[in-house]
Amino acid sequence: MSAPGSSAPGWQDALPAFGRRLPRWAADERLALLAWSRLSEPEDLVAKAFVAGRGARQALERLASPAPVSAAECLLGERTEHLRAGLARWASRWEETDPERDLDRVQTLGGRVVLDGDPEWPDGLALLNGGEPFALWVRGPLHLARACERSAAVVGARAATAYGERLAASIAVGLGDAGATTVSGAALGVDGAAHRGALAAGAPTLAVLACGVDRAYPPSHQRLLRAVAEEGLVVSEVPPGSSPMRRRFLQRNRLIAAVSSATVVVEAGWRSGSLSTAGLAMDLVRPVGAVPGPVTSPSSEGCHRLLRAGAICVTDAAEVLELVSGVAPDAVRRVEARPHDGLDALQLAVFDALPVVSAQSAERIAVTAGLAAPDVPPVLRDLSQRGLASRSSGGWRRAPRGSGAGGDRQ
């Protein structure tokens, strides 16, 4: 290695010059894929293309070879300088790569590995279009693909308020009631509340981590993560032992967006990481919802920003389920009845013109309503039958239970 302060070598000098014999596991395509999940970061699309073009085993062979990169070996779309830099990058993790040890570690915890093509591989990952993980490391009793089929990511700020946590939990409960899975990132705040809500309701929940599934991050969520692993699913694309790093969180967010039928942000500051999950979901053309909050709350600023960017306003689990099911928002439910509902324009005009206190003649009511006098009496009789008008010696007035002058005006 060059000491700090020495002149910097360029990418072109960073050739893998070790040329080792491949270990036994490198002959197994599944184990080779697991090795790649250790050798490269989730964001490394050069690694993804390199492995996709050659197969995991052959890609490992090339990595172990001391031959300089030639233009001839580049596949369509590959560039020699990217390949050269990639081989140098991946080689830096060669020594610590041991997929058999990783697999043991996860299996000891009751976990497993799910690869593309396995029945548990979530369909949504195909949306990543070349950015799919090499492998998913999974703990928990649920069937991963089935759990993702009808699911919503419920994500948001770590610095959530009681409002946000309560809502996250109640959305998770409502999703569970409808048999849908709550996906989240196990972070403090909204994420944790969503998982907890689901667990409390015995509803399915899935935590996607930015670190290995054998680790608890944040540490204070150790018990929560254990519970999710026991009753739901804990998933990661980085191998056991991996620590959480900023870009792993961003990459984790793309997994959340891809496996969930819809993504909902419950609370988010102006620059919350959960906005990245929402943005990635939008990129994947997955429905994105945002829960509004007081405009005076910094914890809702990100949600309002999302709403301005085209997210759908969701206020409860039913509206989140509409996103999950791809149903158009139903804006006309929960309408309470009013005495004058169902009246036609003529009846409404007469009803409006009825005096509330002192009765008036039908003729006078016609003038007030701007109607022809002969048209009014039959309408008054009709309103009377509906219990909306009452007749006295002085004429007609609004029936007490139909009264509410000004109460529904503006």
Residues numbered 203 to 232 that lie near its own copies (CB under 8 A) are 210, 218
Antiparallel, parallel or unpaired: β 262-265 and 233-236: unpaired
- For its own copies, the closer of residues 120 and 286 by Cβ is 286
Our finding on whether 102 is near its own copies (CB under 8 A) is no
Number of residues this chain uses to bind its own copies (CB under 8 A): 95
In order of 29, 48, 128, 157, 303, the CA distances from 255 in angstroms are 23, 15, 8, 18, 20
Q: Closest approach of Cβ 304 to its own copies, in Å?
A: 5
Antiparallel, parallel or unpaired: β 288-290 and 312-313: parallel
Residues 147-176 that bind its own copies (CB under 8 A): 158, 163, 167
The Cα–Cα gap between 75 and 62 comes to: 13
- For its own copies, the closer of residues 140 and 302 by Cβ is 302
Selected from 28, 41, 61, 231, the binder of its own copies by CB under 8 A is: 41
CA angle, 106 as apex, 214 and 99 as ends, to 5°?
110
Selected from 149, 371, 386, 403, the binder of its own copies by CB under 8 A is: 371
Instruction: Please tell me what DSSP assigns to residue 156.
Output: -
* Beta strands per DSSP E along 312-382: 312-313
The Cα–Cα gap between 250 and 273 comes to: 8
- For its own copies, the closer of residues 237 and 319 by Cβ is 319
Our finding on whether 348 is near its own copies (CB under 8 A) is yes
- For its own copies, the closer of residues 58 and 368 by Cβ is 368
Stretch that binds its own copies, among 11-19, 25-33, 60-68, 194-202 (CB under 8 A): 11-19
Residues 249-268 that bind its own copies (CB under 8 A): 249, 253
Contact criterion met (CB below 8 Å) for 197 and 169: yes
Site string for its own copies, 305-344 (x = CB under 8 A): x-xxx--xx-xx--x---------x-x--xxx-x------
Burial class of residue 298, CB neighbours in 10 A (0-12, 13-18, 19+): middle
Our finding on whether 367 is near its own copies (CB under 8 A) is yes
Our finding on whether 1 is near its own copies (CB under 8 A) is yes
